[in-house]
A and B are shown apart, each in its own frame.
Chain A
Amino acid sequence: MSADAYVVIEHLRGQVTDISYVMLAAARELVRDSGGKVVAILLGHKARELSTDLSADEVLYVDHPDLKDFIPDAYQAVLVGLIKEHQPRAVLMGNTSIGADIAGALSVTLDLPLVSSCRQLTSDGKFVCQICGGKILAEGALPEPASLVTMTPGVHKAENGRATTPPTVTDAQAPSLEGLRTQLRKYIEPEAADVDISKESLLIAVGRGIQNQDNIALAEELAKAMGGTVCGSRPVVDQGWLATSRLVGKSGKHVKPKVYLALGISGAPEHAEAIVDSDVIIAVNTDPAAPIFDFAKYGAEVDMFDVLPPLTEQVKQAKG
């Protein structure tokens, strides 16, 4: 086994995703004292130029028509071969709709330990995972001699994974990708929305605490009084209480309003990563241990149903 940390670069429709840069930064930290290299694995088709700003000592580039888009079987087949051949200390993947699809099968096929939902790797070989909606951290020593890791954002900074000079790119051969059982038919664009929440400056966000669809009206009334827009977290959209276009989170929109008023939102990591660029986050929640209070600027431990009516009324009065 080598001391090298390998990073499976994620890209979607011609764009390297932010988690790839986060993973490169984490990999750099992991090998800081060991002398290992950071190696990026880039799978794609006519996608070599995606390597340009990857902060890696080397990029292993595999080009194949079946790697143009993410197909789990195809990625697995290539990665199994590369990991067996190079035997790195660690292979980092995103805890995302790409990385999480392949990590399980790689762990089983290669009989390698898998550490999931990892937010931090340290140069002394430790990992810290974030579980239970961000309420618990789990720490351990990254299993030796080799481990697979799925990473979440939060500690390592994407900017530390970006390079200003292109890295060395080495071509690697794809194995036969005959007989794939999964195929991409097409992409379906997000439905045209009445509003683009990623561009709104005032967002009134509701979470599971809103309890039912009828209560959305309370948030709508405040939004109307303030000139803001209502959006929500995953449970609210899954219940069909808000349109998918209003979803804030890992699989929804990332937002950066002047004010993000979070009502009944706990601040699970999947939601947190999408709102941290807001200028001011204000959280209203009855749970004093809700993780959102750890990154909001202002908070109130109060039932939203007690505070929403007087708040709407006072906003109306203030605006005359």
Chain B
Amino acid sequence: MNIAVLAKLVPDLVEELSIDASGAKLDTSFARLIVNEFDDHAIEEGILLKERFDGQVTILAPDDEGIDDVLFTAAAKGADRLLKLKGISAMETSSHALARAYADVVLELKPDLVLAGVQAHNDLDGSVGSLLAGMLNLPYVGYVSGISMQDGQAALRKEYPAGLIAELQVTPPAVLGIQAAEQPPRYVAVSKVRQAMKSISIEERTVAPTESPAVPHIGRMFKPEAAQHAIMLAGAPDEIAGKLVKIFKEIGVI
């Protein structure tokens, strides 16, 4: 089975986010970038599929600083082929343009399944996977948390609220938006990543980003100004603990 996984970097939400001078865009020049966590789950699910049903896993990613580490880490986990899209940055590109850039490469790879994170926290014009499916006229199912193959069909676990799961059957080729892999993304030791850097190279494809008119124009970005803010409990940890106990007593839960 031939599996393509789409991965990209996003700003780390643990860090302070800032808006650039235009007032309409995130300033990512000093932002710490990490792999989109749903893409990380997509990589894991791709590797799991390869281990269970055999095949080849190719990771595709736009060219942002730090993406090589993500690609080599995926190789250390079991990915067979790494493809970097030169000339396009996930920080500077809409989901539509990124999907368009992926589309040509995916057509060439002819995968049975394309896996992508179900969303990224900075998506403003939909998820890359769902748009790619539309461009390639492939079926798309998102919020997937498990895949198995049977008689050439993919059986999917799709998540709905309150823990309900729908089991869907889709005929490949298809694009799947991964909510969670069937197991947490595996840890690989740095030594294995270094080993992967020696044994596999990153192939590069130059693409020209094509912005779509189907992308909304953002006039202003801003941080939410809350209508309210929590009453903050100050003090040393044991003093805060004391204040919490007092609140618990007042509410009547202890």
Chain A residues touching B, range? 35 or more
Asked whether any CB of chain B lies closer than 8 Å to the CB of A134, the reply is: yes
Q: A136-B222, A301-B232 are in contact. Are A185 and B169 (CB under 8 A)?
A: yes
- Interface of B: prevailing SS: mixed
**10 nearest CB pairs, A to B:** A104-B130, A108-B134, A190-B163, A299-B230, A294-B226, A105-B134, A97-B143, A311-B241, A306-B237, A310-B241
List, in ascending order, chain B residues with CB within 8 A of A141's CB.
217, 219
Q: A108-B96, A190-B163, A251-B143 are in contact. List 14 more A-B contacts (CB 8 A).
A: A72-B139, A97-B158, A101-B142, A101-B143, A105-B130, A111-B213, A114-B215, A140-B218, A187-B167, A227-B253, A254-B162, A293-B226, A299-B232, A300-B243
Binding-face segment, A26-34, A162-170, A232-240: A232-240
Asked whether any CB of chain A lies closer than 8 Å to the CB of B1, the reply is: no
Q: Closest A-chain residue to B122, C-beta based?
A: A131
Asked whether any CB of chain B lies closer than 8 Å to the CB of A64, the reply is: no
5 contacting pairs across A/B (C-beta < 8 A): A100-B177, A114-B125, A114-B126, A132-B26, A314-B238
> What's the minimum C-beta distance from A251 to chain B, rounded to whole angstroms?
5
List, in ascending order, chain A residues with CB within 8 A of B130's CB.
100-105
List, in ascending order, chain B residues with CB within 8 A of A298's CB.
230-233, 244, 247
Q: A297-B231, A307-B241 are in contact. Are A187 and B165 (CB under 8 A)?
A: yes
Asked whether any CB of chain B lies closer than 8 Å to the CB of A47, the reply is: no
| A117 engages B221 (CB within 8 Å) | no
- Interface of A: prevailing SS: mixed
**Which residues of A in the span 103-119 have a Cβ within 8 Å of any Cβ on B?**
103-109, 111-117
Query: Which of B119, B224, B242, B248 is the most central at the interface, judged by chain A CB atoms within 10 Å of its CB?
Result: B248
List, in ascending order, chain B residues with CB within 8 A of A186's CB.
166-167
| A259 engages B251 (CB within 8 Å) | yes
| B13 engages A133 (CB within 8 Å) | yes
Asked whether any CB of chain B lies closer than 8 Å to the CB of A1, the reply is: no
Q: Count the A-B residue pairs with Cβ separation under 8 angstroms: how many?
A: 295
> What's the minimum C-beta distance from B34 to chain A, rounded to whole angstroms?
12
| B126 engages A307 (CB within 8 Å) | no
List, in ascending order, chain A residues with CB within 8 A of B238's CB.
310, 314
> What's the minimum C-beta distance from B107 to chain A, rounded to whole angstroms?
15
B118 contact from A69, A100, A289, Cβ within 8 A: A100
> What's the minimum C-beta distance from A128 to chain B, rounded to whole angstroms?
9
Q: Closest B-chain residue to A185, C-beta based?
A: B167
List, in ascending order, chain B residues with CB within 8 A of A314's CB.
238, 241-242, 245
**Which residues of A in the span 291-313 have a Cβ within 8 Å of any Cβ on B?**
291-303, 306-307, 310-311, 313
Asked whether any CB of chain B lies closer than 8 Å to the CB of A253, the reply is: yes
